[in-house]
Structure 1
């Protein structure tokens, strides 16, 4: 009965679905534009397609500068949906890591590049500093540098004013009643997708049809998005709060978008649904009883043994949900399905799924640390600790690296999850090393293990880490910078900025007495193997709690 009631009340935007607090409900009333944004965007598709075709004649590369909800959806679309032949290459730059910035810049012909500056608030630190850097690469030499820039933001923001002052090629003002992580089907998702050569008509048509079907079916039994949301909320309430994503091969990029939507929406007030993306699918023996598995299955993708493994998990008593997609353009409906499900799960958990109250804390800490470093002019001091080869357990009082890891691992208990937070360039080599550590810890401890790259995860799972339950055990990984890049006009470099972000977030975790360990690498290209080796030794000295 309660589930059917949720289905009936969601589409009319019944604010009483969420916490019975007048202030919160007033805020929520201005955050529900995503429910019908697909219809509004559909009317402008022809204009957007025509403009994108004109841009494609002059541009080889489109670089999206944005964080979290301003970048993840278009990155997913470009990875999953086929693009028109001859379209520009879309690159998402959502980091302050100086190696990543240099790597992206080195692959560009600036005369044939376009930068999308995307920020709902208009003041996102990472986006603003990246925009200033690339603007500086043009402004000294190029005539009319604004023609290389496009802005997506809310009306009235500082970015909207800056874009006008600098004569950006185009400024897209997004509906202000849509939060960043619910903005996939708004200008934030669609403008980069159109520039990348993606056909938006079928994408939006599928989303509109899915919305109409959901709105017309008050019964939860015939309303898949509501079914998923009710299941996630109810299962979290009984301890199955580790939402484990199992995508087919073509849909692997989708997990990062789902992760930021769910974690930032549902991780607050000591509650949370913990999305787990990127774990290899294992047998029943490597999982605790805190899991729910959601398969994302694109028709035509190879099975790779996925069905048999999921059957075994279901047979062992784990809930398994399948969300099928007939073709890549069904991603439009898939986005809306997850947005609806997340809003419904928030209702069952009695939280506001449209705010992110803990995100600002790490930002404030970063600003304070940056202020200290620019005032003193001195470099950051890395706390002393035990070292093995190039790996330092910063701030640990343990006698050696293995002992530091053993102490940290011993703090992991039943119902916990491990969060690996890597302030590194998101390269294939780093990802392979970190994913192997993720699998190693999952298989040895039988606990959920998440992996996020900083500062990107601060706009995704960061809210969950601080506002959710005290079940996270955190491993922060930082590294020396082999190269660095100055931020124009700020008095610090991108290397200093990413270090300050890591320190600021670690301080937020420390203030909440979260279980944590920081490892600092001298050379990230080789030291991850030292970390993995030390973890294997440490794991042999403990037993899962």
Structure 2
């Protein structure tokens, strides 16, 4: 099976993929996609109504071109005003595409440096508050719904900080990107923000890379939006309504991923050239949140170091994306080894970073296609609100000056406490038995998610734990920092197949940050988000272990690594 744009090694899935592509052609899938035929995904009226309001991304590359003159005017005015940095306050779909642009391109000469703040961790927020360039920073308050708790809370904190620093007109350092008529748009108008970008309401958050949510931060970096949209439009035409599924780059990719997922290869392992590394988190949110529902889905595995072929189970499909001038995502020897072990491998090459415009569109089409084949609505996120609602319930008592009640550990050792689901009447287990019993539940085809409510500086140590677990258990692993993952893979954790095994890692060692006009602090919000997600995973009967570190020292994670290593040797 061949496609001139992709290099394929999909083994015995070829016949099923070929058959599915013929079926899509017979069903006129591509034409119906561009006609916005909502019955491609669901037949019932409620789903069709939701889907109908989420298909604006199809024409975003051409539609946003009309907005380039006023984006350019805005950016020139900001540069002339002396701003040197842009700090984006946003979560999930509002932050991930800008992060890709910032990490891949970096600031061009004479343009702004971009910093993305997508956390409620008080230490991370405090570090940003202490930046020496706040008075020369433009704050991008970015939220599709205009009601994202973290985003609005961050706005209040930084607006208050600028006032404390004596800035005469602090709100002139803020712009908003949101849908028309949202609470954020009303706030921005009332507070007289410097600028408000009203995004088309029919573009969902995770499909918004080529809308204002992605393009305004990109423009502030000095990226040539015309060239970026040229690449996106070129790919859009190659995915157009008259292009057969087998020749359509987006539909073809989505078909392969869905067919492989239905055959048990549902762990989409992303291998990327170093300068494309940040693209993995964007793909992770798009694919996981779009397909992970109704007990099915495709789980992207990003930023996982390539291991030996024997480290992988039979649930993997590898997608390797190489940047022409960068280190190859997958070397010839590694490719031969994976193919020899009968792992499906799909690969292609980008000419330069501006091909990211095309890449965003490719993956959006692919995800919409995969959703249709899997029988899910790829434009909703029905389980995301569970953790949000539980978080708000935990925060409500704080209005009466009460404290959140925390569960008690079932076992402790050397500053490491373990929390898990206990059946009433069961005798308590010791530390080693609790770890052993939890790890013993893991089976081939499962995945293990590390959910870290810690400072990102611990990423290296957490990845060491992640690889230990992958290599010993031969299962896919993910690493997500809370609350960021709640806006990404959180939907998959609750809505996808019950094959997830979750280790949540928390600590109470942080400097708290008050939120003006709120009855709780960021420390309390952060704690409630962690506890709320733990409780929801328990209610969903997911296998979840909560690990509390006595403090934020690196030695605690080293000790945890040793405890897990010992437990794995006892299995």
TM-score interval, normalised by the smaller of the two chains: over 0.9
Are 2:366 and 1:341 aligned?
yes
Are 2:429 and 1:406 aligned?
no
Q: Which runs of 5+ in 1 are unaligned?
A: none
Are 2:151 and 1:127 aligned?
yes
In structure 2, the partner of 1:523 is: 551
Are 2:24 and 1:3 aligned?
yes
In structure 2, the partner of 1:97 is: 121
In structure 1, the partner of 2:322 is: 297
- Secondary structure in 2 matching 1:524: coil
Are 2:522 and 1:494 aligned?
yes
In structure 2, the partner of 1:44 is: 67
Structural mapping, 1:157-172, within 5 Å: 157-172=182-197
TM-score by length of 2: 0.92
Q: CA deviation at 1:461?
A: 0.3
- Secondary structure in 1 matching 2:188: helix
Higher mean Cα deviation, 179-188 or 76-85?
76-85
In structure 1, the partner of 2:297 is: 272
1:469 to 1:136, Cα distance in 2 relative to 1, 3 A: same
**Whole-Å separation in 2 of the counterparts to 1:463 and 1:305:** 30
Structure 1 counterpart of 2:568, from 522, 535, 539: 539
On the 8 A contact 1:481/1:495 being kept in 2, the answer is: no
Are 2:532 and 1:504 aligned?
yes
**Whole-Å separation in 2 of the counterparts to 1:188 and 1:362:** 24
Are 2:166 and 1:137 aligned?
no
Q: CA deviation at 1:311?
A: 2.4
Q: CA deviation at 1:239?
A: 1.0
**Whole-Å separation in 1 of the counterparts to 2:421 and 2:200:** 48
On the 8 A contact 2:258/2:370 being kept in 1, the answer is: yes
On the 8 A contact 1:388/1:400 being kept in 2, the answer is: no
**Whole-Å separation in 1 of the counterparts to 2:339 and 2:63:** 40
1:323 to 1:51, Cα distance in 2 relative to 1, 3 A: same
**Whole-Å separation in 1 of the counterparts to 2:472 and 2:301:** 17
On the 8 A contact 1:476/1:518 being kept in 2, the answer is: yes
In structure 2, the partner of 1:415 is: 445
1:489 to 1:304, Cα distance in 2 relative to 1, 3 A: closer
**Whole-Å separation in 2 of the counterparts to 1:342 and 1:307:** 28
Structure 2 counterpart of 1:447, from 475, 481, 487: 475
In structure 2, the partner of 1:463 is: 491
Higher mean Cα deviation, 192-201 or 89-98?
192-201
Deviations 1:295-325 (A, max 9, x none): 1111021237633212211222111111321
On the 8 A contact 2:33/2:241 being kept in 1, the answer is: no
On the 8 A contact 2:420/2:544 being kept in 1, the answer is: no
- Secondary structure in 1 matching 2:478: strand
On the 8 A contact 2:106/2:221 being kept in 1, the answer is: no
- Secondary structure in 2 matching 1:540: helix
Q: Which runs of 5+ in 2 are unaligned?
A: 1-21, 423-427
On the 8 A contact 1:98/1:481 being kept in 2, the answer is: no
**Whole-Å separation in 1 of the counterparts to 2:284 and 2:323:** 19
**Whole-Å separation in 2 of the counterparts to 1:379 and 1:229:** 44
Are 2:97 and 1:76 aligned?
no
Deviations 1:354-398 (A, max 9, x none): 000000111000000001234243354352232222211135776
In structure 2, the partner of 1:239 is: 264
On the 8 A contact 1:272/1:469 being kept in 2, the answer is: yes
Higher mean Cα deviation, 60-69 or 50-59?
50-59
**Whole-Å separation in 2 of the counterparts to 1:18 and 1:305:** 34
On the 8 A contact 2:421/2:538 being kept in 1, the answer is: no
**Whole-Å separation in 2 of the counterparts to 1:407 and 1:445:** 14
Q: CA deviation at 1:150?
A: 0.3
Structure 2 counterpart of 1:357, from 382, 387, 392: 382
On the 8 A contact 2:258/2:373 being kept in 1, the answer is: yes
**Whole-Å separation in 2 of the counterparts to 1:23 and 1:303:** 45
Q: CA deviation at 1:482?
A: 2.7
1:408 to 1:488, Cα distance in 2 relative to 1, 3 A: same
In structure 2, the partner of 1:16 is: 39
In structure 1, the partner of 2:18 is: none
1:318 to 1:6, Cα distance in 2 relative to 1, 3 A: farther
In structure 1, the partner of 2:410 is: 385
On the 8 A contact 1:418/1:474 being kept in 2, the answer is: yes
1:227 to 1:390, Cα distance in 2 relative to 1, 3 A: same
In structure 1, the partner of 2:4 is: none
**Whole-Å separation in 2 of the counterparts to 1:497 and 1:194:** 33
On the 8 A contact 1:99/1:481 being kept in 2, the answer is: no
1:380 to 1:97, Cα distance in 2 relative to 1, 3 A: farther
In structure 2, the partner of 1:35 is: 58
In structure 1, the partner of 2:216 is: 191
Higher mean Cα deviation, 176-185 or 2-11?
2-11
- Secondary structure in 2 matching 1:39: helix
